[in-house]
Amino acid sequence: MLLLKGCATINPEPRHDVEMAEETREVRGRIPKELKIAFEIACARLEFTQTAALEEAIRDWLKKKESAADEK
């Protein structure tokens, strides 16, 4: 599944077949304190890194937005 935005193509599917270390970028944002604490607790309880959880959330958001755009 690909998302197109201007000239950029975004593939929200995870790429598990990549052997080389994938280049990464930092994402920043501000969220309510209570949401941040709940996120940290959930990640720790599930033994999931915050990076992995954020990547999953962003991929899910991209898929959701693509589905909404396809329905229009």
Q: 40 lies in a domain?
A: yes
pTM for the whole structure? 0.65
pLDDT in tens, 20-41: 688 999 999 999 999 999 999 9
Please give the pLDDT value at position 1: 47
Q: 17 lies in a domain?
A: no
Q: 66 lies in a domain?
A: yes
3-state SS, one letter per residue, for the chain: CCEEECCEEECCCCCCCCCCCCCCCCCCCCCCHHHHHHHHHHHHHHCCCHHHHHHHHHHHHHHHHHHHHHHC
Quote the number of domains for the chain.
Answer: 1
Q: 72 lies in a domain?
A: yes
Structural domain of 62: 30-72
Share of the chain above pLDDT 90, in %: 60
